[in-house]
């Protein structure tokens, strides 16, 4: 999507109809796109959406698990509002199709990047709050996250893809995230190969390649997990 066409389909997936279309436009506008066109980006609305999301998820968990301790609720909330969980929810509603990205970010695979998807989802939820208030935002978040809420307080929502697992491991080991970089792409358009690098917080760099950025990053993350297993003996 190179220029903004109002995404009615996104509203259907979100389960919410905006009163102000400008709010949704801003929520979908990545800073890379805004800088190229001198527009306002979504980072301020994302900041608000982050707080709204945390409050609504806290309320959902508080009501769902009336006997849970503060520590248990905090652990569940952290898992649900983490970048892997948010990016998974964003992919389920095909949010990446509607994000407005600059050319460079688009070429670097930003449309399927976890951080871009998670941040944009937070911005969209912040826009719902600005557009109609807490009750509508809560209803929207409850609908989006219903399938991710665990049945028991001792069961965390888990992400099974390599990138999410790697991020969880590096956060535990190093208190930091891995960084993915596209090193090169080559070959004809219909058979293009992408070579990527993942750099771990301890400075180790691991490369992998495949027929898409997403697959190459997953391959690199898988190799990085094997390295960490050897490093930690787990």
Domain 8-148 homologous superfamily, CATH: Ribonuclease III domain (1.10.1520.10)
Instruction: Delimit the domains of the chain by residue range.
Output: 8-148, 162-232
Which fold is adopted by the domain 162-232?
Answer: Double Stranded RNA Binding Domain (3.30.160)
Express each pLDDT in 49-79 by its tens digit. Answer: 999 999 999 999 999 999 999 988 988 898 8
Distances (CA, A) of 12 to 8, 86, 201: 6, 18, 40
% of the chain surpassing 90 pLDDT: 45
Q: Mean pLDDT of all residues in the chain?
A: 87
Residue 2 pLDDT exceeds 50: no
pLDDT confidence bin for 171, thresholds 50/70/90? confident
40 is catalytic: no
Structure tokens at 41: 């980006």
Q: Out of 83, 114, 122, 131, pick the active-site residue.
A: 122
Q: Out of 46, 50, 83, 105, pick the active-site residue.
A: 50
CA distance 188 to 61: 50
For the sheet with 179-186, list strands across it: 179-186, 193-199, 205-210
CA distance 35 to 56: 32
50 is catalytic: yes
């Amino acid at each position: 999507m190179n220029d903004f066409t109002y995404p009615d389909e996104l509203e259907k997936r979100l389960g919410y109809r905006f009163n102000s279309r400008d709010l949704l436009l801003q929520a979908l506008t990545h800073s890379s796109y805004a800088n190229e066109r001198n527009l306002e980006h979504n980072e301020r609305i994302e900041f608000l959406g982050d707080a709204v999301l945390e409050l609504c998820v806290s309320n959902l968990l508080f009501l769902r698990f009336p006997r849970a301790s503060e520590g248990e609720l905090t652990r569940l909330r952290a898992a649900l509002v983490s970048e892997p969980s948010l990016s998974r929810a964003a992919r389920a509603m095909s949010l990446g199709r509607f994000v407005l990205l600059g050319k460079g970010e688009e070429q670097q695979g930003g449309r399927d990047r976890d951080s871009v998807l998670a941040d944009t989802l937070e911005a969209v939820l912040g826009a719902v709050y600005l557009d109609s208030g807490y009750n509508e935002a809560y209803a929207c978040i409850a609908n989006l996250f219903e399938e991710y809420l665990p049945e028991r307080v001792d069961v965390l929502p888990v992400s099974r893809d390599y990138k999410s697992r790697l991020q969880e491991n590096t956060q535990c080991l190093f208190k930091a995230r891995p960084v993915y970089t596209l090193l090169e792409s080559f070959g004809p358009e219909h058979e293009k190969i992408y070579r990527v690098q993942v750099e771990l917080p301890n400075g180790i760099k691991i490369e992998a390649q495949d027929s898409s950025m997403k697959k190459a990053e997953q391959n690199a993350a898988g190799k990085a997990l094997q390295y960490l297993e050897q490093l930690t003996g787990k």
